[in-house]
Structure 1
Amino acid sequence: MYAFTYHQPDSVEAAAQAISANEDAKLLAGGMTLLPTMKQRLAMPSDLVDLSGIADLQGVRSEGDSLVVGAMTRHASVAGDTTVQSRIPALAKLAGGIGDPQVRNCGTIGGSIANADPAADYPAALLGLGATVKTNKREIAADDFFVALFETALEPGELIVSVQFPVPEAAAYAKFDNPASRYAVVGVMVAKTGGGVRVAVTGAGPTVFRHSEMELALAGNFTAGALDGISTAANGLNSDIHASAEYRAHLVGVMAKRAVTAAGS
């Protein structure tokens, strides 16, 4: 690991100032990706700005018809929070299935979505539930947040403060996970809201995406049978040692049906 300067600000403003003052600085949330990368000497930030001391970035609260989750809230806290369990149980279940206990007790929602790993679970929750990412500068709709592989709409000096999830009428997440890492080979979040149905797919492609054909079918008939005959093109999907693009395309349909069934029950 290369040498770096460590900062532990106690406010969002101080963190933003620290990250802006150092061109090669990195924000440290849970460190699930950044720290291993640094240990392997694949990254050498000049400064690490640790967000763990900022109380305003932690916790879950209800705001009208929405849940607001602080960016530094750990996966285990989301999974075990009684408010999340009662208002968006699909989100609690998703968080409880991330990685292993060590990852769930260290990793954060803000760190996960900022990293935009193509096999991460939270991106499906954001896109499927129609969430809004709130930063120190603006609000970004989930549809506009995930840009490409490991790339988001965040600008230099911009940090995530919280994520606002509208409470759906029904929702569920189904994942076919890698047995070693628990990353999603394919994961599908299905949500029925007042504005329609949303279907978000993670793990299958270079970035999380919505499945418009499934959304249209489920809008008229919110049952697993409505997805019969709908296929997903393998072209452009991920293909690696874990699963081919064709297998992932098949799994999208399987996981979507499981999610719809779970949401309906």
Structure 2
Amino acid sequence: MASKMFSDLRSDTLSFVAFIFVSAVILIAIFGPLLVSTDPNQLNLRHALARPSSEFWLGTDDLGRDQFSRLIYATRVTLLAAAEAVTVSLIIGLPLGLVAGYFGGKVDSVLSRLNDALMSVPALILAIAVVAVVGPGLTTSMFAIGVVFSPSIFRLVRGSTMSVRSETYVEAAVAIGARSPRIMFVHVLRNIFPPVLVQISLLIGIAMIAEANLSFLGLGVVPPEASWGSMLRTAFDTFYAAPFLMFAPGLAIGLTVLAFSQLGDGLGGALTGKKASR
């Protein structure tokens, strides 16, 4: 299935370009810091707000820190933050969705009502509340974002599980005496995972926007560590003196979110046999 999905993805130009772009961003996050010799937190006030040049490819911020180096290091921070939020949403939403969809009845009713209640909580409001109690930090704020993301995973997994629980392979597993946890996490999950994979791709992009919002508000990454969102905040504070600082982190966020969205669209098209929407 994986090889066919990749083949279908290659047949869609935009989705394949998005796949290449996302792969490049991930490689930069993993290996990029090894290729940058400049310390992203090194202060150089003599070159504060320097324009892009051969020495500083993307210029420097108000403290003279090299923007190119900070952008590379921030890639890892931003992707890890998004991965944390999506992982938390999977840990919460996936098993609960399996249980609700497989057993149905009162179990499904109770879990669905709890899920509906959680869906009513705005993600940023919960993140701000958590930060107010625990203190600023990217880990705590993205954990809160992941909790609010979990209902979307729950609803998808629940609906997919309900659609396959009456399939022959599930009934055969029940007939031979397989336990419910094994049926859910081996037989059912394996067959509903493709749409979950699509949802993961879409949620990563949304989580990146959430991280940028929180860091822009000063509730995410703690200085001097950089993320794309915190770089935007610095650029905003010095916009009139150095408007060029906006371009690199803004483009990084916009293009990466767009790429993850298009990749999710392409994966969905590959799974259903339809071309991704444009």
Scaled to the shorter chain, the TM-score interval is under 0.3
Structure of larger gyration radius? 2
Higher relative contact order by CA 8 Å / sep ≥ 6: 1 or 2? 2
